[in-house]
Amino acid sequence: MSRRTLIAGNWKMNGLTGSLDYFRELAPVAADSAAEVLVCPPATLIHPVAQACRGTRIRVGGQDCHARNSGAHTGDISAPMLRDAGASHVILGHSERRAGHGERDMDVQAKAAAASAAGLVPVICVGETLTEREAGQAVEVVARQLAGSLPENSAIVDLVIAYEPVWAIGTGLTASLTDVAEMHAAIRERLKNPLTTCILYGGSVKPDNAEALLSLADVDGALVGGASLDVTDFSAIVRAAGSGTQLAR
């Protein structure tokens, strides 16, 4: 299995049913892209988005899942529920979940195992804070998160890693190309399946920096936040990944 290019949009807590026109505009862009295109709307929209994207090359994902398949967990959503609603992927361990909901590496690991067992592709997020980077601990922190968050079952090979420096999420700041290249290389060295695992960069990815970021050797795509809410901006990022029958790396 070759490394693929993936452009993923994380809508976070945004989007209503009136947002579905977005996908009619995105569909022809996705059809002409060398990349896989994934949009992760809020849970309330997963099913209608999946229905709207039938027959297109747009995949749909969740933004989180519980480690258990069912039970007394008010307000949570399980991996089988996401799959049943039409999702193919799920974002796990995003820094906003780690910081705002106290998620630990072991929690992300359990969720990733549950997601894979349900037939979802886990998109596991890792990233350092500005304080950690300035202290020269960026690689150490990300390596620790990676080791603690990846499923222990080595048979789970279909997963995605997203490197998102915490200080670059929603701030307008972007890590330098050198920093991104070094971190992605460090992540790949620590993977069980380095030749096939897709590693995304996330952190204020925009149309004007996407092409440069995607040109880096170990960057296989992008996890896009705010810019994914605007179909024009997101389409431009998808186009930056190349078109037609571009070969996998």
Q: Which two tokens stand for residue 127?
A: 């990233």
Is 164 one of the annotated active-site residues of the chain?
yes
Q: Distance from CA of residue 10 to its chain's centroid?
A: 7
Spatial separation of the C-alpha atoms in residues 36 and 179, rounded to whole Å: 25
Spatial separation of the C-alpha atoms in residues 41 and 88, rounded to whole Å: 12
> Which residues does 23 contact at the CB level (< 8 Å), separation at least 6?
39, 49, 52, 53, 56, 58
What is the average pLDDT across 139-162?
A: 87
* Residue 152 main-chain phi, psi, to 5 deg: -70, -25
Q: Report pLDDT for 131.
A: 93
User: 3-state DSSP call for residue 229?
Assistant: helix
What is the average pLDDT across 84-89?
A: 98
Domain membership flag for residue 1? no
Domain membership flag for residue 245? no
Domain membership flag for residue 152? yes
- Which entry of 66, 89, 94, 184 is annotated as an active-site residue? 94
Q: How many C-beta neighbours within 10 Å does residue 187 have? A: 22
Spatial separation of the C-alpha atoms in residues 208 and 206, rounded to whole Å: 5
Domain membership flag for residue 249? no
Domain that holds residue 169: 6-240
- The structural domain count of the chain equals 1
Domain membership flag for residue 210? yes
- Which entry of 103, 132, 164, 184 is annotated as an active-site residue? 164
Domain membership flag for residue 248? no
User: 3-state DSSP call for residue 225?
Assistant: coil
Task: Give yes or no for residue 249 having a pLDDT over 50.
Answer: no
Domain membership flag for residue 142? yes
pLDDT in tens, 32-43: 999 999 999 999
Domain membership flag for residue 246? no
Is 189 one of the annotated active-site residues of the chain?
no
Q: How confident is the model at residue 244 (pLDDT cuts 50, 70, 90)?
A: low
The owner of tokens 């996890």 is: 223
pLDDT in tens, 21-76: 999 999 999 999 999 999 999 999 999 999 999 999 999 999 999 999 999 999 99
Task: For residue 181, give the CATH number of its domain.
Answer: 3.20.20.70
Spatial separation of the C-alpha atoms in residues 151 and 149, rounded to whole Å: 6
Identity of the residue numbered 171: T
